[in-house]
Amino acid sequence: MFARTERLLLRPSWPEDAAELHQAIADEGIVRNLARAPWPYTADDAAAFAAQEHDALYPAFLLMLRTHGAPRLIGACGIGLRDGDAELGYWISRPYWGLGFATEAGRAVINIARTIGHKKLIASHFTDNPASGKVLRKLGFQHTGKTASRHSKGRRAASSCVLYENALDGAGADPACMPRPPAFNIRAQMDGLQAA
């Protein structure tokens, strides 16, 4: 499964991505905000992630920045299974923080989740990472009013998380996250009528 956004190509990982993946994520400032990634994040961890089997219901994507040359790996975004619910997760390499890539990728993954039949997504962020909460709210996630303790392999401890949900049936969703109909092009419509 692949997706393309204005600046990114979202694609599955391949074993040959391991070295670039390790270079992009081996940063304690990134890993400490993730639940499943260990710290230190080793080349073997990257190789295991890059070679993982792909699940059509819970896809994981590498975020490849489209450039004039070879695409550059800048993060990952995907859907995981947590306590029976589909969970959105993401990370962005430090040089690309604050540039809107998490929101851009998240929108694409939310549309994929809706397309493959998920009715709801959950998400969370550690309370000391409020920037992730801003991303989730931009993506149409609603704060549940709850927090929970969650173990982080990167922190090697449990920390408090803020919990969110996003109903993918459109109820209460942010219009920016909803699929848009194709733009109406009057010129193409007139040309089509003249050709008929």
Q: Who contacts 93 (Cβ-Cβ below 8 Å, separation ≥6)?
A: 24, 25, 27, 30, 73, 74, 75
pLDDT for res 9: 97
In the chain, % of residues over pLDDT 70: 86
Instruction: Report residue 194's pLDDT band, with 50, 70 and 90 as the boundaries.
Output: very low
CB 88 within 8 A of CB 109: yes
Burial of 93 (0-12, 13-18, 19+ CB in 10 A): buried
What average pLDDT score do residues 40-68 get?
Answer: 96
Q: Which helix (H) or strand (E) holds 65?
A: strand 60-65
Q: What is the mean pLDDT of residues 18-46?
A: 97
**Confidence category of residue 124, pLDDT binned at 50, 70, 90:** very high
* Mean of pLDDT values over 184-189: 44
Averaged over 124-132, what is the pLDDT?
97
- Percent of the chain whose pLDDT exceeds 90: 84
Q: Which residues of 125-140 are buried (b: 16+ CB within 10 A; e: fewer)?
A: bbeebeebbebbebbb
Q: Report pLDDT for 1.
A: 84
pTM of the model: 0.85
Please give the radius of gyration of the chain, using alpha carbons only, rounded to the nearest integer: 18
Cβ contact 4:105 at 8 Å:
no
Mean pLDDT of the 32-45 span: 97
The confidence band for 154, taking pLDDT boundaries of 50, 70 and 90, is: very high
